[in-house]
Structure 1
Amino acid sequence: MEGTYARVGYTLDVCRGDEVWNSSQVWYMPFDDLNAPFTDEIGQWSWRDWYYTINVCNYTITRCGEDNSVLSETMKRIKGQMLFLRGLAYYNLTGYYQNPILITDYNTYSTLDGLYGTNSTYDEAWDQVEKDFAEAMTLLPSRDAGGQWALGRATNGAAAGYYARALMMRHKYSEALAVLKDIIGGKYGHYELMKNYGDNFREGSAYENNAESLFEIQYLDYGSQGTDDEWTPVNTSPNATQGHAVESNFGPGDMGGWADLSASPWLYQLFKSEKTTSGSLDPRLYWTIGTYEPEWDGFEYGNVCYTVPMTADAPVVTNNNNGGLPIAKNTNLRTGLYDKVVTGLHCGINLRMMRYSDVLLRAAECENEVNGPTQQAIDWINQVRNRAGLADLKLADFSGNADKLFEQIANVERPKEFGCEFGRGFDLVRWGFFYSADRLQQIKEHGTFRRTNDKTRVKEPVSYAEVGLDPELKSSYDSWIQGHEFFPIYQGTLNDNPNLVGNSANKSESNADKLYGPVHPVVNLK
């Protein structure tokens, strides 16, 4: 649905991250600038649609009963799926809105008092997320069960992965590390990195639900969809397209896209700063940012933008007026499938919401937090680097310096592996970057971009120090208001529910005293 993963529910977190900016300068502007007013209805769509999901889950869970031991194997799987999806709903609601209403029993709706719930605390919400994922882990089969369980349904591996993610939101690193080690050890089924990074961002049965995917959102492939865009639960057309519109948000205007979101110059320069062991570009750049590079001639589909050849003299920008580096990930910009964006809910590429590479890098992060830099942490990172053809990191370069290894993970390894994907905004919140002066300054630097219709300048390095001096430069984070690292609860929702109050974004209140654990200081890796 619109507010889950069809469009806004996915892209709001993408533009909250420091590697993406709003090149259309409309629509997502207040969410990119992190100063969204509580009257902006777009910000309410995720709230609306995740509660729709919770309603369906509660209906089923309530009828399954509390005693799992009496359930048949089929019913265990059904209840496990509902617990996973409810945990996923509250994971998103808490990460976006901070203090959602916790409703976990369908019978609660039988009274107005139950229907009009009150806010939870941040801790209460995460407690519920952890509880749902932990129980789902005990009820669901692994992907090794095969069949439809290996083709899109929630598995115990998916539940375990998200359980570890939830634990890390409150810096429960020791607990998360144990879960991540179990995933790596095969307790929840076999996972491995795909040899070709690009196979995580193509559609079709040969690529989707592959051995790297812990959980992904299923979409119908191009050519097999209906014709009716179905944005909300209200529309139940049998001819629904059942694709997503993330591609429409990312797609360049010249190719029919809506030209809303672009990759930051910081991310592009980060890719360009390190070559592979063979002296070539990191292949993840090809699948993340749609730029012309001489080295792409003969690589995969070559220098194309929706099958249209690009040249050094004719690069493509996202927005014709404001420029921007086109985002290739989760689009068909590099797949050769069609020659322009089919706007609306038509992209058939499954959104891989959690990949095995995330398990490895999270395990390395937790190992570093618990034990400091160790060879085990380095080995997990190197598995991800080796897939991209990059040289191994050496423990000696980080020995005794957990802050330095964290810097490597947070601002080199993770953005290059997951750049322009959902999740960076969640990371910035859990790491406390908004409430540390040096970290806030750092993400202001990362979030600096150039608005220009000069296509030759969009790849240039930019400097936050030049913001204010160069009228084309801007930083998304200059307009951040304290508390707005979360999105406000929509005023119309507050008006409808007398028991509900606004969160830190509604009140523009600091969350500095609500962080879990110290914030790592910035370390210069050069």
Structure 2
Amino acid sequence: MKTFNIIQIILVIIVGVSACNDELNVTNPNNQTTYDFGDSKSELEEAVIACYNRIRLEGTFARVGYTLDAVRGDEVWNSSQQWYLEYDNLNSPGTIEIGDLWPWRDFYHVVNRTNFVLSKVDKVDLTEDSYNKIAGQALFLRSLAYYYLATYYQNVPLIIDYSAYSDINTMYASNNTQDEVFDQIEEDLKKAMQMLPSRDEGGEWAQGRATCGAAAGYLARALMFRHKYEEAYEVLKDIIAGKYGHYELTADYGDNFREGPEYENNSESLFEVQFMDYGTGGTVEEWTPINISPEATQGHAIESNYASQEMGSWGDLAGSPWLYNLFKKERCTDGRLDPRLYWTLVTYEEEYNSYTGLKTAAYPDGDPRCNIIYQQEITATPLSNTSQGGISIAKFTNARTNLYKSITNGLHCGINLRLMRYSDVLLRAAECENEINGPTQTAIDYINQVRRRAGLEDLQLSDFPTADHLFEQIANVERPKEFGCENGRGIDLIRWGFFYDEDRLNQLIEHGYYKRDGTASTEELTAETADDSSFKYYYKGHEYFPIYQSTLNANPNLEGNSANKNEDNGPAFREKWTIRPVIELD
């Protein structure tokens, strides 16, 4: 019996030890790492959603990353005369976080997460359809991040292998040339075009996700940045022909800037950043790059920068008087103002009430579903900034939507940001046709599709004797009126070489004239009547944003770009491409 008891005790000890060992090896599902995550279809799909989350940060498209390019252009100026000032004046010293660091940091968050997905997807047993959707979205989002990194910071590290982050020798990467980065962008987008379904094929799945149409649209943009017009034109013609899904202009231009499922992800949208409708998200504003709270507001703060300080916003950015007067120079065929003015700038125009049925006010009535009138309609143009003045910007704000009674500053606005619309496809097709074949009726027809939606008279080929004339119409009339105050104008100015030609730079100075007189000045300004112009302060090389100095200090392999070094990119640009001369249009 004694022997039996001893054996029994030994067995209990063995079982107990074994049980302890098993328990110690159990993975805590709440403390997973990248090493033990991403090994199934469902986990990879979660990881892809996490990639989309990164394009909704302040440094990407929730505020600064979006508006930095707008203020870099000639349609927007820094009405607060602080915060964005160095980026408006194109002379940041490289020590200011909002532009030199935040977009860099947050777009590399996107790169990091997409690289993770791509490092895992080949090791998981997936159907061809699932594989293509997961890998295709990751490729698109990585190329999207690198498109903005390369057009914001010029020559950035190209990291496409997730294992590079585990080795200090490769984690601290050196710069790649802008051409090398764009080569990778093109490669990724071409793959994504073949892998992703169209918006038509994708159905509900495609709502808000990257599709082959989104990849095709951004491929055309990438190709045109390097003046590959023939290649870009073929892609654009395929989009127009419906190869990547059906796209068409919305009947109402304003539907591209409204909130709600009946307007967002519409027939005109190739790709847009998704935000929760106002008041439907949580209450936590996550300004840091963490952005993991289940109670996050999940809105953006573009409205906080763009809207009128009189109406409660921060009043940082204003539309240029040049853009306002560009709209006023041409009437619709029935005599009314171009309706795009209403949706671009918050100006008071008496005729809005007389024959459009649209309210003139910003936030006039609150939510019509509540039948509550919160304030009277305005009878004058509200100030962008109550101290400096300026014209408030309407796009991607609720100034014209009449959804709620006032601005709630911060990450609350729920209007999806349409990063690429079908109208861009049409105007880019016109530009490519003009670059390849000169002014043709085909190019004019593309432009007229966009003009007819606005109710403007058709252009006539006979009015454009040279490619230079038609380019001027596209670059400085059609595109500013269609895309005024949207992200992308600064990138256009770089790809056209406008910073590298004295006449073009003088033209930008004229477009950038503004007054700091505490009024919403809408007069056409000249050197004599303007208080200033952002472009008078431009430092050579600062058409790109400098790489943050602390980032350079931390990475011994990284060098500054042209903005850090104040280097002129003009000679290298002119060696490869032509800058079209300034043409005075009738």
Calculate the TM-score normalised by the size of structure 2: 0.86
Note if contact 1:301-1:335 (Cα within 8 Å) is conserved in structure 2. no
Q: Does 1:517 align with 2:560?
A: no
Query: Once the two structures are superposed, what CA deviation does each residue of 1:405-432 show, in whole Å capped at 9, x if it has no partner?
Result: 0000000000000000000000000000
Partner of 1:482: 540
Equivalent-residue separation in structure 1 for 2:346 and 2:519 (angstroms): 17
Note if contact 2:381-2:391 (Cα within 8 Å) is conserved in structure 1. no
Alignment counterpart, residue 180 of structure 2, candidates 116, 124, 133: 124
Partner of 1:412: 477
Cα 1:239–1:339, aligned 2, differ >3 Å: closer, same or farther?
same
Q: Does 1:184 align with 2:261?
A: no
Equivalent-residue separation in structure 2 for 1:442 and 1:81 (angstroms): 40
Equivalent-residue separation in structure 1 for 2:94 and 2:352 (angstroms): 45
- Report the Cα offset of residue 225 of structure 1: 1.4
Equivalent-residue separation in structure 1 for 2:279 and 2:121 (angstroms): 38
Query: Once the two structures are superposed, what CA deviation does each residue of 1:131-188 show, in whole Å capped at 9, x if it has no partner?
Result: 1111111110000024334311000000000000000001000000000000000000
The secondary structure found in structure 1 opposite 2:547 is coil
Partner of 1:325: 391
Note if contact 1:199-1:207 (Cα within 8 Å) is conserved in structure 2. yes
The secondary structure found in structure 1 opposite 2:318 is strand
Alignment counterpart, residue 57 of structure 1, candidates 107, 110, 114: 114
Q: Does 1:139 align with 2:195?
A: yes
Alignment counterpart, residue 403 of structure 1, candidates 463, 468, 472: 468
Note if contact 1:292-1:310 (Cα within 8 Å) is conserved in structure 2. no
Partner of 1:334: 400
Equivalent-residue separation in structure 2 for 1:148 and 1:56 (angstroms): 24
Q: Does 1:356 align with 2:419?
A: no
Equivalent-residue separation in structure 2 for 1:454 and 1:362 (angstroms): 36
Equivalent-residue separation in structure 2 for 1:65 and 1:440 (angstroms): 49
Cα 1:151–1:459, aligned 2, differ >3 Å: closer, same or farther?
same
Partner of 2:211: 155
Alignment counterpart, residue 551 of structure 2, candidates 464, 485, 493: 493
- Report the Cα offset of residue 514 of structure 1: 2.5
- Report the Cα offset of residue 309 of structure 1: 4.1
Give the letter aligned to residue 361 of structure 2.
Answer: V
Equivalent-residue separation in structure 2 for 1:339 and 1:189 (angstroms): 38
Q: Does 1:47 align with 2:121?
A: no
Note if contact 1:301-1:336 (Cα within 8 Å) is conserved in structure 2. no
Equivalent-residue separation in structure 2 for 1:226 and 1:417 (angstroms): 34
1:249-268 to structure 2, matched below 5 A, reads 249-268=305-324
Larger radius of gyration: 2
Equivalent-residue separation in structure 1 for 2:288 and 2:470 (angstroms): 43
Equivalent-residue separation in structure 1 for 2:378 and 2:285 (angstroms): 35
Query: Once the two structures are superposed, what CA deviation does each residue of 1:252-273 show, in whole Å capped at 9, x if it has no partner?
Result: 1111101000000000000000
The secondary structure found in structure 2 opposite 1:304 is coil
Give the letter aligned to residue 442 of structure 1.
Answer: Q
- Report the Cα offset of residue 338 of structure 1: 1.3
Q: Does 1:225 align with 2:290?
A: no
Equivalent-residue separation in structure 1 for 2:214 and 2:494 (angstroms): 22
Note if contact 1:21-1:447 (Cα within 8 Å) is conserved in structure 2. yes
Note if contact 1:434-1:440 (Cα within 8 Å) is conserved in structure 2. yes
1:22-101 to structure 2, matched below 5 A, reads 22-43=78-99, 44-65=101-122, 72-101=128-157
Partner of 1:445: 510
Alignment counterpart, residue 460 of structure 1, candidates 511, 515, 523: 523
Q: Does 1:17 align with 2:73?
A: yes
Mean alpha-carbon deviation: is it higher for 365-374 or for 472-481?
472-481
- Report the Cα offset of residue 222 of structure 1: 1.2
The secondary structure found in structure 2 opposite 1:79 is helix
Note if contact 2:143-2:185 (Cα within 8 Å) is conserved in structure 1. yes
- Report the Cα offset of residue 66 of structure 1: 10
The secondary structure found in structure 2 opposite 1:254 is helix
Note if contact 2:78-2:316 (Cα within 8 Å) is conserved in structure 1. yes
Note if contact 2:540-2:567 (Cα within 8 Å) is conserved in structure 1. yes
Give the letter aligned to residue 398 of structure 1.
Answer: F
Equivalent-residue separation in structure 1 for 2:260 and 2:422 (angstroms): 19
Give the letter aligned to residue 474 of structure 1.
Answer: D
Gaps of 5+ in 1: none
Partner of 1:390: 456
Equivalent-residue separation in structure 2 for 1:364 and 1:454 (angstroms): 38
Calculate the TM-score normalised by the size of structure 1: 0.96
- Report the Cα offset of residue 460 of structure 1: 1.1
- Report the Cα offset of residue 297 of structure 1: 0.7
Cα 1:71–1:483, aligned 2, differ >3 Å: closer, same or farther?
farther
Partner of 1:216: 272
- Report the Cα offset of residue 62 of structure 1: 1.5
Note if contact 1:270-1:412 (Cα within 8 Å) is conserved in structure 2. yes
Equivalent-residue separation in structure 2 for 1:484 and 1:133 (angstroms): 28
Equivalent-residue separation in structure 1 for 2:198 and 2:462 (angstroms): 38
Note if contact 2:362-2:378 (Cα within 8 Å) is conserved in structure 1. no
Identity of aligned residues (%): 60
Equivalent-residue separation in structure 1 for 2:426 and 2:284 (angstroms): 40
Partner of 1:508: 566
- Counting matched residue pairs gives 516
Moved over 2 A (4+): 64-68, 146-150, 298-301, 308-312
- Report the Cα offset of residue 378 of structure 1: 0.4
- Report the Cα offset of residue 18 of structure 1: 0.1
- Report the Cα offset of residue 345 of structure 1: 0.4
Give the letter aligned to residue 571 of structure 2.
Answer: D
Cα 1:202–1:438, aligned 2, differ >3 Å: closer, same or farther?
same
Q: Does 1:242 align with 2:298?
A: yes
Mean alpha-carbon deviation: is it higher for 22-31 or for 235-244?
235-244
Note if contact 1:303-1:309 (Cα within 8 Å) is conserved in structure 2. no
